Structure 1
Amino acid sequence: MPRLFTAIEIPREVGLGLSLLRGGLSGARWIDPENYHVTLRFVGDVDDATGRDIMLMLGQVRRPSFDLTLDGLDQFGGHKPRAVFASVKATSALMELQAEQERLMQRLGLGAEGRNYKPHVTLARLRDASSRQVADYLATRGPYRSPAFHVPRFVLFSSRDSVGGGPYLVEAAYPLL
């Protein structure tokens, strides 16, 4: 089975707004707007049996739908920037949904996620961009804020083993109440 992860899809109109932030940063590999998402839990490469177990386990999630807002831009990597992203305003509903999925994956025997969860939408992966260039980019575009958008479901995505940034395929969708 391909590489799997759970995520929240970004509505088309929000993705369009994010796409207007593209450009002006050398060494950036910009993510295509149709591949924007908020990762909930990275699963990785699993065999078909584990993939089916994950699909079934995720079907047990019963959480209410909620609204999200993207609030500001930032970067991962510190002095060696590796990605630029739009921050997601962390709501209790989002954090509870992510924590439940983390518990479910561990119950299936998958290792715990090694990093603290920071909800975000990756806009670009960086190669050879200086921290100064990234700081300048963020200074001119950092005040970004999206309109609130409704999250009616989460999905299980698969991706090809590639450099990253898609294309992603929805393997299963799970409605929120």
Structure 2
Amino acid sequence: MPRLFTGLEIPENIGHSLASLRGGLPGARWIDPENYHVTLRFIGDIDGLAANEIASMLFRIRRKPFEVRLQGLSSFGGKKPRAVVASVAPSRPLMELQAELERLLQRVGLDPEGRKFTPHVTLARLRDASNRDVADYLSVRGYFPAQVFTVDRFVLFSSRASVGGGPYLVEDAYTLSA
């Protein structure tokens, strides 16, 4: 049973730039740069028939290429931080693509996504990291010059059931064109 999700790939040069922010945070499990991505919609563990139906249905999406802007670092998890992320500015084209994916996947029978879409790139998963350690890390490394790249496709990723952080495989790619 594959575990699937849709997402945006991060260009290699931006991945290298983000990787330079690694280190200096106790309890962090750093994601390998080749696994950086922006998740658009988590699909989950599904059977092969449903996976094929989803993969073919995603070709219906017709969107233009758009820019994505990474700006600054933050953490998820509130009082119990669970991840350090690069924030993604929520542009209209990005939000509309994600909403269309959500609608299509619900039509196939998936339950609605339970969390509000907050675009980001996960850099590290945290285990037993204190608020103080995360705050100290963000105060030193949290600012970096905005990184902008053009998205001309989104992809269907698969991952193995694991603790997280990859490896992620591109199962199919869907071109965005004018």
Which range, TM-score by smaller chain? over 0.9
**How far, CA to CA, are the matches of 1:2 and 1:52 in structure 2?**
11
Letter in 1 for 2:66: F
Matches within 5 A, 1:1-177: 1-177=1-177
Secondary structure, aligned partner of 1:138: helix
1:149 CA displacement? 0.6
Structure 1: any 5+ residue segments left out of the alignment? Answer: none
Secondary structure, aligned partner of 2:147: coil
Cα deviation, 1:114-153, whole Å, max 9, x if unaligned, reads 0000000000000010000000101111112333111010
CA RMSD of aligned residues (A): 0.7
Cα deviation, 1:136-173, whole Å, max 9, x if unaligned, reads 10111111233311101000000000000000110000
Cα deviation, 1:45-85, whole Å, max 9, x if unaligned, reads 00111101100110100000011110111101111100000
Letter in 2 for 1:113: E
**How far, CA to CA, are the matches of 2:122 and 2:96 in structure 1?**
21
Does the aligned pair in 2 maintain the 1:69–1:145 contact within 8 Å? no
Q: Which TM-score applies when normalising by structure 2?
A: 0.98
Does the aligned pair in 1 maintain the 2:73–2:143 contact within 8 Å? yes
Q: Which TM-score applies when normalising by structure 1?
A: 0.98
Aligned residues: 177
Runs in 1 of length 4+ with deviation above 3 angstroms? none
